[in-house]
Amino acid sequence: MSRTLAILGGKPLFDEPMHVGRPNLPDRRHFDKLVDTMFSNRWFTNYGPLVKILQARLEERLRVKHCIPICNGTVALELAYRAAGFHGEVIVPAFTFVATAHALEWQRIKPVFCDIRESDFTLDPSCVEELITDRTTGIVGVHVFGNPCDHRSIAETAGRHGLGVVYDAAHAFMNETDGMSVCSLGSMSILSFHATKFFSTFEGGAIVTDDDDLAEKIRLMMNFGFAGREKDRVDYIGINGKMTEICAAMGLAMLEQVDRLAEINRINFEAYLEALEGIPGIACRTPSPALSARNWQYVVATVDEESFGLSRDSLVEVLEAENVLARKYFYPGCHRHEPYCRTFPGSGRELPVTDRLSEMVMCLPTGEAVTPAMARMIGDSIRLAGVRAGEVRAALKEGGHA
């Protein structure tokens, strides 16, 4: 408690920036070997041998029937929405990465933004019903920070109205609930394997489904609609959603690391939880109790300005001065971004939980670049910022920030 915060003239906590989403690394020898195989195969893309192996390993690991590798999570979303037959209007939470909504707009589907639950940041099923119109064709649930949506209530509402359900499981790799993989909920889910994700292929993603017909349709759609081995027949106006071999090589190498990384994340999370314990106005949000296995990828904290003495934004600035680059995932809600405000003016007024939480939430760095000692130091700086909130506010004002 004796140190001086960097914002108050002290030395920054870290010499190098500590990023949320700093990529974890594979074993280089393993990765290099796979790259050598790729070059000796002279096969770089178009459902090559490494993609086939990765697909089989993912299906085994996630205990799902089909896990189709895709070039990224956003294209996976577009393909999934289209394969689900979505059109007209689709209900989607606003508290998510913009890609969840953008992928609807790119299919000329109107996103109808829905509020979330306070407890776990996921779609609030009790708000869905009132948004259903005769143009609604589907519901998108996002397992935000890996927390599973209330899939039973969503399925019940969707069933009563004849709606399709697609889950955005970008954050939920390896998470389990009710004895199954979170990404096997609903008829289709998408995963993101972006560099910043728990499981990475540099860029990449996947569509998960147990439905053979849907899997067949997606395979046509993601490969220009080519049917048959000779590719002399096109059955569908498809696009290019294929994963490359170099990305599959990264995926195969990273798959060997996931248990180790989940454990590192868990230990870091415990350190943060302890360090943030009892700080007035700071809540370290534990992953949903509905999870029986988790990747611990997101260390999520909320800041209550009144009790803490500083707003979330001010605390993010305090941390930035310490070289800790906390992220405001997800601020603002999608409904507050320009293209959606313009299209749906006033929609924000109806999402009080999204608006409140998006003003309070921040994610803290974890992964193999962070040690429990570092997590404790970050927690102690947050505590100190609260204790010295008055001086911090004055310093921020002087610096033209607040």
Q: Give the interface with ligand T4K as residue ranges (CB under 6 A).
A: 19-23, 72-74, 96-97, 99-100, 142, 168, 170-171, 192, 194-196, 205, 325, 329
- CB of 140 vs ligand T4K, minimal distance in Å: 10
d(CA 378, CA 13): 8
- CB of 212 vs ligand T4K, minimal distance in Å: 25
Q: Tokens at residue 334, please?
A: 């999608």
What long-range pairs does 183-186 form, CB within 8 A, spacing at least 24?
183/62, 183/64, 183/208, 184/62, 184/63, 184/64, 184/208, 184/210, 185/141, 185/148, 185/149, 185/151, 186/141, 186/151, 186/154, 186/155
Looking at the Cβ atoms of 96 and 177, the one nearer to ligand T4K is 96
Looking at the Cβ atoms of 206 and 284, the one nearer to ligand T4K is 206
- CB of 22 vs ligand T4K, minimal distance in Å: 4
Q: How does DSSP classify residue 116?
A: B
Looking at the Cβ atoms of 220 and 325, the one nearer to ligand T4K is 325
Q: How does DSSP classify residue 23?
A: P
Q: Tokens at residue 241, please?
A: 């959603």
HSE (CB half, 13 Å, CA atoms) of 139? 33
Looking at the Cβ atoms of 17 and 49, the one nearer to ligand T4K is 17
Looking at the Cβ atoms of 329 and 331, the one nearer to ligand T4K is 329
- CB of 57 vs ligand T4K, minimal distance in Å: 19
Residue nearest to ligand T4K (CB): 73
- CB of 253 vs ligand T4K, minimal distance in Å: 16
Q: Tokens at residue 316, please?
A: 């993010």
Helix then strand count (H, E) for the chain reads: 15, 17
- CB of 24 vs ligand T4K, minimal distance in Å: 10
- The terminus-to-terminus CA distance of the chain in angstroms comes to 25
Looking at the Cβ atoms of 312 and 388, the one nearer to ligand T4K is 312
